[in-house]
Amino acid sequence: MGLVDHNFNLPFNIIRCSHVECGVTDLDASRKFYVDILGLIETERTKDTIYLRGLEEKNHHCYILKQHDKAEVFALGFKVAFDKDLDALEQHFKQLNLPAQWVNKHAEERTLAVRTPMGIPVEFHAKQTRVPTMMRAYSKYKGLAPLRFDHINCFTPNCQSTYEFFVSQLGFRLTEYTLTDRGDMWAAWTHRKGNVHDMALTNGKGPRLHHTGIWTASINNIIHLLDVMASEGYVENIERGPGRHGISNAFFLYILDPDGHRIEPFTCDYLTVDPDWEPLAWDLKDPRRQTLWGAPAPKSWFEHGTPFHGTKVRESDIVSQPIIAGYEDVA
């Protein structure tokens, strides 16, 4: 099976991944982590929810942290070009016999909540409340100096079928990938906005959120975040890195929020707006794919993820795959 053709003819236009809504068990502890340490801007706080955005962002939120009884993800958010794209998406999901319903979300005009065939909860919107960018308020930069939400990475028990859905049915385009020996997709990086990924998929117990990625302007900001985390009592929340991914060329770090939601502060990827950009295939046996410099990722990194609220998690369909291979492919 492997690769499928890109679909440039869909009647809607998904612009980019925009945000994620996470259930957290201690809102104050989360605020300390996301705002004081990481450096995100708090746009608004209600009784049970905090809305955050990156320094350059002019939309209301890229993280919604909601008081909850356990660490779960409520929805992955994507922005479409125009209001009419929401209606086209509703029709599209209904034709596919997939759940699609209008929901009320704070600070979004209209929101369409759907489920992918694998059960991943996705919410589409065209407009969030506009708020001021803090990009030029340099004295507010701290921690990571996080500029913008960049991507989402999910575990899926069948990477091939989830990949096909995002590419064929939603118009995502493949940038890098690895195949199993049988020729199935083992991991895939797909995008809408023109860089390496909006949505990455990796084979594994799922569906679960593996991590969200946040863009910062420089390697030095990531090093400073590490120093700050170490000096403020967050050494245990540093999971992997810093390092360079062969895949995506990103300089990366992986950290865990107080509930175990994984975040990847990163910088340095590349432009993929060309429709004739050829996806880059990686050999499962090339360790530089994961970490260019060779350092192995910890076991937790291949096993830990955050479940989606109301979504059953199952084992990977690729049972014959040696588990060690699985240890080499999420990025």
Residues that bind a copy of itself (CB under 8 A): 8, 15-16, 37, 56, 58-59, 79, 81-82, 126-127, 130, 135-139, 141-142, 147-148, 193-194, 217-220, 223-224, 226-232, 235-236, 238, 242, 244, 246, 249, 251, 267-268, 270-271, 273-278, 287-288, 292-295
What secondary structure does DSSP assign to 95-135, as a single string? HTT--EEEE--TTBS-EEEEE-TT--EEEEES-B-B----T
**Least distance in Å: CB of 6 to a copy of itself?**
11
Q: Between 238 and 325, name the residue whose CB sits nearer to a copy of itself.
A: 238
Report the C-alpha gap between 19 and 53 in whole angstroms: 9
Closer CB to a copy of itself, 117 or 260, in the complex: 260
Q: Smallest distance, Å, CB 221 to a copy of itself?
A: 8
Residue 250 CA to residue 59 CA, distance in Å, equals 25
Task: Tell me if residue 9 falls in helix, strand or coil.
Answer: coil
Measured CA distances, 50 to 12, 16, 35, 63, 241 (Å): 30, 22, 10, 8, 28
C-beta of 14 vs 73, nearer to a copy of itself? 14
In angstroms, give the least distance from the CB of 223 to a copy of itself.
Answer: 6
Q: For residues 92 and 315, what is the distance between their CA atoms, to the nearest angstrom?
A: 29
Beta carbon of residue 59, minimum distance to a copy of itself (angstroms, whole number): 7
Maximum distance among all Cα pairs of the chain, rounded to whole angstroms: 53
69/138 with CB nearer a copy of itself: 138
Task: State in angstroms the smallest separation of the CB of 139 from a copy of itself.
Answer: 5
Q: Minimum CB separation from a copy of itself for residue 135, in Å?
A: 6
Query: Nearest approach, Cβ of 307 to a copy of itself (angstroms)?
Result: 26
> 49 or 133: whose CB is closer to a copy of itself?
133
d(CA 175, CA 281): 9
C-beta of 148 vs 211, nearer to a copy of itself: 148
Cβ proximity to a copy of itself: between 101 and 220 the closer is: 220
Nearest to residue 245, comparing CAs of 293, 284, 281? 293
Torsion angles phi and psi, residue 92, rounded to 5: -60, -50
Give burial (CB, 10 Å; 0-12/13-18/19+) of 199. Answer: buried
The smaller minimum CB distance to a copy of itself, of residues 59 and 162, is found at 59
How crowded is residue 133: how many other Cβ atoms within 10 Å of its Cβ?
16
Residue 161: CB minimum distance to a copy of itself, A: 28
Give the CA distances from residue 297 to residues 4, 111, 280, in Å, rounded to whole numbers and listed in that order.
30, 37, 22
